[in-house]
Structure 1
């Protein structure tokens, strides 16, 4: 399955290249040479992260029917319903009534006026409960966006009690739009930017239920990454490799096609499962009871089912993957952007692997053996020469997953925002998007490394 950047959409629509798994690209036009524009020197910091995670954070917002939860992992949950609302699930064709409580964050002023914003959240959603995350921002021209829905999330998918987790299409005010999981300024060249935002969190449950969601982390990453075909090369600074489980998505080709046409598209959940297990977590036997016992690595099937976005019809919704990771005990997950392989080296040095999103032609990444319009892989270390050691799920079997990719090639395909596809058309790159999963209580070394890349 190939997903490319439609002509009708703005040139930088990074969300569209994230979730295709390995979408193999033909190389009919790959023999044509293209002269890339001169290399641009990027500013030191192009990303702003803000998360609400502490008891003080949860007390700082405006709540209606919510209460902060103290303890080792502070959060936000129901105090009493603020009211009831009706929701028609477009994927179940079912209308239901729900009790709700609501919390709105303080307004956050972006250190980097943004062209794109991606929200992340970590929550416990018992059966029959769900959450909705919305964003409202202010532009540089002083006007405001509407309240955009950034996601409707629940960990479960029991059609009798749960909604279908989903992104929401067709949201726009003529200045910005929501593309699956990403807020994006429609015309970045105009100079318009988002200068601040607030997040609104709605907790929902069946009327009269005692079950309630608890949200531990809510935040967003704003960025203004300039359009570029090439990025400055970083100097190698670390030789270290983490021991991360290896899983191939291709082992699952054709399995459970109701989830994005099967395992050949499961690069994102396969990568997520590798890092979840690196941190010592696994689904239970009960969680996996639905999987055909003849299938290898059933936890990968479970990850695909648990990250599937019923609107996007895929498993590559970035925040949904981070939210899935956080369903495991004492794990956190965020979506962010990094600026160079030096940032990744800081994380690897602290024992934190990363899932990165990139797209490339076959000849642009030596040894990959494929081209893709969007693919996720897991960076687990660096060789003595500074090359990237990655667990690439686009491999024929589990033992073949570990790959070594040339540093300069890999860094450029990951960090660029513009590239040429197989037909010579200019399409988008992700500009350094990655998922980071880490303990709810990081070690001092891990905390320092996360802070160095802007994550707290």
Structure 2
């Protein structure tokens, strides 16, 4: 799940997920443009470096852009981690100015870390007067836990911003941001960590949701996703959250990978005991676990897990279900972060939650939301339909409309203006 993002200095612990993510305006119809207008105050901008040409606009020290990836080439630094010495190389993005004063930034990436290697993602910002923040560490990440523990570092509240798990918060607002990726490999080896995409979503959001959006282009469209229940994993692997109520995020991510036919191969999860239902969910939980956050609900850790398997994955925010419908119409399911109290989401398998992940699978002909909700105790109960207005309130006011966008090459992104994907 995604836990409530706590203020800096407060201890972050794993909560229970079940109890308590290139076009122009002319590409939209007049009806769509009019319906989008109430959400205009939801200021969101997603920027990324994905193609070789885009990646070459960054500044590398010891890295090389090759075959559409930024790869470790020559060590330019060194450090120690867990008693081991690592060589490092870095890549800095150009500055991004989203055009509004943003208060939150969430980076995401797609990378591979062969053998004993890892990467770190840092961000910094500047305010309207040009004052720079420090570089803050957002993630130390590796594709497996064989050598390096995946972790974040909440706090770092020394200047203009602070880190809250996977979210960089700047309450006073910033005008621009920059991301740095450090590639690290064990000294004396030839491992070549690399990344093919890095980006971030910047946002400044009101505390309330707009009025319920009108149904749009995906009315009557429901995608055929496999149905997995997080609750069938109760008691599995306490060292990675213990399954059940804590595994809504890797379960949702796994349903989307299953939709694309890109679940991990059986030999990858051969360590899961025989008889465990949907063992690929156990595998996903292990490979999304944040050892500092003590949970599997780190948003970009889930997209980083999915990206090399399916093709592309990133974290962003949407302004309403009108935008979500454009993804469904393009054949792209979305993992969405919601939170709600008792009586606020009719038909949900849980009474309330401060943070929960589920999959938007489609829409009824009247515009209500069809989901795969992993909080169901059985596979059969995973598919549910939620009232459109209730869902938007639970989604937009709590996580700001956060979604994981996970897709393969056969499903290009829908046209978009302005650029929140």
Superposition TM-score, scaled by structure 1 size: 0.83
SS across alignment from 1:60: coil
The reply to whether residue 77 of structure 1 matches residue 71 of structure 2 is yes
> In 1, distance between residues paired with 2:214 and 2:97?
33
**Residue by residue, what CA displacement relative to the aligned partner does 1:47-98 show, whole Å, maximum 9, x if unpaired?**
111100111112111111100012xxx11101211132222xxxxxx32100
The reply to whether residue 118 of structure 1 matches residue 106 of structure 2 is yes
SS across alignment from 2:238: coil
1:232 alignment partner, one of 200, 211, 231? 211
1:58 alignment partner, one of 55, 60, 78? 55
> In 1, distance between residues paired with 2:318 and 2:70?
29
SS across alignment from 2:269: coil
Residue aligning to 1:96: 84
Checking the alignment, whether the CA contact within 8 Å between 2:41 and 2:206 is kept in structure 1 is no
1:148 alignment partner, one of 136, 151, 154? 136
Q: How does 1:412-451 map to 2 (within 5 A)?
A: 412-416=393-397, 429-439=398-408, 441-443=409-411, 446-449=412-415, 451=416
> In 1, distance between residues paired with 2:335 and 2:2?
21
Q: CA deviation at 1:44?
A: 5.2
The reply to whether residue 343 of structure 1 matches residue 323 of structure 2 is yes
**Residue by residue, what CA displacement relative to the aligned partner does 1:296-334 show, whole Å, maximum 9, x if unpaired?**
100000010000000000000000000000131x52111
Checking the alignment, whether the CA contact within 8 Å between 1:127 and 1:156 is kept in structure 2 is no
Residue aligning to 2:306: 325
SS across alignment from 2:74: coil
Residue aligning to 1:365: 345
Checking the alignment, whether the CA contact within 8 Å between 1:124 and 1:213 is kept in structure 2 is yes
Checking the alignment, whether the CA contact within 8 Å between 2:318 and 2:420 is kept in structure 1 is no
Q: May I ask how many residue pairs the two structures share in their alignment?
A: 401
Structure 1 gap ranges (5+)? 26-39, 88-93, 417-428
Residue aligning to 2:23: none
Residue aligning to 1:33: none
Structure 2 gap ranges (5+)? 21-36
> In 2, distance between residues paired with 1:398 and 1:77?
41
Residue aligning to 1:35: none
> In 2, distance between residues paired with 1:122 and 1:414?
25
> In 1, distance between residues paired with 2:295 and 2:311?
23
> In 2, distance between residues paired with 1:402 and 1:296?
18
**Residue by residue, what CA displacement relative to the aligned partner does 1:27-60 show, whole Å, maximum 9, x if unpaired?**
xxxxxxxxxxxxx954255111110011111211
Q: How does 1:36-47 map to 2 (within 5 A)?
A: 41-43=38-40, 46-47=43-44
1:68 alignment partner, one of 65, 70, 79? 65
- State which drifts further: 131-140 or 173-182: 173-182
The reply to whether residue 242 of structure 1 matches residue 223 of structure 2 is yes
SS across alignment from 1:365: coil
> In 1, distance between residues paired with 2:141 and 2:162?
20
1:454/1:179 Cα in 2 relative to 1: closer, same or farther (>3 Å)? same
1:452/1:438 Cα in 2 relative to 1: closer, same or farther (>3 Å)? farther
Q: CA deviation at 1:375?
A: 0.3
1:210 alignment partner, one of 176, 186, 190? 190
Checking the alignment, whether the CA contact within 8 Å between 2:264 and 2:280 is kept in structure 1 is yes
**Residue by residue, what CA displacement relative to the aligned partner does 1:135-171 show, whole Å, maximum 9, x if unpaired?**
111012421110011111101111xxx1101001221
Q: CA deviation at 1:124?
A: 1.1
Checking the alignment, whether the CA contact within 8 Å between 1:47 and 1:222 is kept in structure 2 is yes
Q: How does 1:245-260 map to 2 (within 5 A)?
A: 245-260=226-241
Checking the alignment, whether the CA contact within 8 Å between 2:125 and 2:132 is kept in structure 1 is yes
Q: CA deviation at 1:255?
A: 1.1
Checking the alignment, whether the CA contact within 8 Å between 1:362 and 1:368 is kept in structure 2 is no
1:194/1:452 Cα in 2 relative to 1: closer, same or farther (>3 Å)? same
> In 1, distance between residues paired with 2:227 and 2:419?
28
Superposition TM-score, scaled by structure 2 size: 0.90
> In 2, distance between residues paired with 1:353 and 1:2?
19
**Residue by residue, what CA displacement relative to the aligned partner does 1:211-266 show, whole Å, maximum 9, x if unpaired?**
211201001100000122x4211111222000011100000011111112322210
SS across alignment from 1:327: helix
1:2/1:221 Cα in 2 relative to 1: closer, same or farther (>3 Å)? closer
Checking the alignment, whether the CA contact within 8 Å between 1:21 and 1:375 is kept in structure 2 is no
The reply to whether residue 382 of structure 1 matches residue 347 of structure 2 is no
Residue aligning to 2:149: 164
Checking the alignment, whether the CA contact within 8 Å between 2:2 and 2:298 is kept in structure 1 is no
